[in-house]
Amino acid sequence: MSAETSAVAGQFTRRRLQFRAWRGTRPFWAGLFIIIGGVPIMYFPYAHLTIGQLTIRMSTTAGAGSLIIGVLLVVLGISLWFQKHIRTFAGVAAILLALVSLPVSNFGGFVVGFLFGMIGGAMAIAWVPGTPPEPQAEQTPGSLGGAPESAVTDLTKADDAPARPDADGGPEEPNDMSETSPANGANGRHSVG
């Protein structure tokens, strides 16, 4: 390694992996779609297209409404990134704002902002935090070629208590003395020990 090559490549990889881990714990893509949907909704009513000497203005009478809808969509998208617990509210609000943008803001930013807002809102509602992966159990050499664990019966647990029929005629569960189930009437009050 020469003096010119620094740890930039390693730092870039580390930052990329940190961003990937951060992105995986929140509705990142839903927020991005909502932000992308808000930009054309608030931009097109104030846009001036100049072709040579001809200026085309697309401003509407509800330009302020378009600006408010677009800014709210951008704020909802950013808040989804940093406050993932509001995902349902932000998703529903983004869908409602995208629907309102159809009549207010040049058909929802020429339908582009409307579609991005609707898809982002639906993604925000559908997003659910993942569960951490469970640690894998190490296999012992004896269990590699044998029967599956579910097929092996545990012979140390014998059911010594006789089954008594209950009111429905089916067998009743044995009396559990573990002090955990108040349903069987032996939750520690009459048990020995």
Model pLDDT, residue 32:
96
User: Quick one: pLDDT band at residue 88, thresholds 50, 70, 90?
Assistant: very high
How many CB atoms neighbour CB 55 within 10 A? 9
Answer whether residue 22 shows pLDDT above 70. yes
Mean pLDDT of the chain: 77
- Strand-pairing partners, residue 49, are 56
167-189: average pLDDT: 56
pTM over 0.75: no
Q: Identify the pLDDT of residue 51.
A: 83
**Of 60-64, 137-141, 179-183, where does the model show the most confidence?**
60-64
| Residues 108 and 122 sit within 8 Å (Cβ to Cβ) | no
Question: In the structure, what pLDDT confidence band is assigned to residue 152 with cuts at 50, 70 and 90?
Answer: low
Lowest mean pLDDT among 41-45, 105-109, 116-120, 183-187: 183-187
Q: What is the mean pLDDT of residues 67-82?
A: 94
The answer to whether 180 and 187 have CB atoms below 8 angstroms apart is yes
Is residue 168 over pLDDT 80?
no
Are the beta carbons of 94 and 121 closer than 8 angstroms? yes
Residue 73 to residue 52: CA distance in whole angstroms: 34
| Region for 19 from its dihedrals, namely left if φ exceeds 0, alpha if ψ lies in -120 to 50, beta otherwise | alpha
